[in-house]
Amino acid sequence: MPRGKAPEFSRRERQIMEILYRMGEATVADVLKHMPEETTYDSVRLTLGGLGEKGHVKHHRDGRRYVYRPAVSHDKASKSATQSLLHTYFRGSPSQAILSVLDVSSRNLSDRELDEIEAMVRQAKEGRKK
């Protein structure tokens, strides 16, 4: 995956990646059990194979089964997705993204969540001074 460029997943690929990140690793049958909508074993198997060819998942053999896991850590993938989101929708401006989130969800944020955001901003400022 190119640096700073988040992959564009189909709906099914995104669902499968979410399951793999949540579980850590899984067989086709494990993924199938956690799919939010009805699908077939072969569809999940083929999608996992495609994700493997694209470099998004790795697998190892466990007896007769393959066990799949994300090729990139969740932290690294989320940072890449965030960079892509910032570039695509906010002209690379983190402050514009934060303002957008606050504008959309300010009525739904608890005092605790707002305190957490305030503490993160304070921490970022202190880290910059060092």
The residue that leads in pLDDT, 89 or 5, is 89
Looking at the fold, whether 56 and 67 belong to one and the same domain comes out as yes
Alpha-carbon distance of 98 to 113, in angstroms, equals 13
Alpha-carbon distance of 94 to 10, in angstroms, equals 26
The answer to whether the predicted template modeling score (pTM) of the entire model surpasses 0.85 is: no
Summarised one tens digit per residue, pLDDT across range 41-94 is: 999 999 999 999 999 999 999 999 999 999 999 999 888 888 888 999 999 998
Find the CATH number of the domain harbouring 59: 1.10.10.10
Tell me, what's the pLDDT at 108?
81
pLDDT at residue 22 tops 70: yes
Q: Which domain holds residue 20?
A: 1-91
Looking at the fold, whether 12 and 41 belong to one and the same domain comes out as yes
Half-sphere exposure of 92 (CA within 13 A, CB side): 2
Looking at the fold, whether 29 and 52 belong to one and the same domain comes out as yes
Looking at the fold, whether 79 and 106 belong to one and the same domain comes out as no
Residue 118: both structure tokens together: 């305030």
Alpha-carbon distance of 104 to 89, in angstroms, equals 15
Looking at the fold, whether 60 and 107 belong to one and the same domain comes out as no
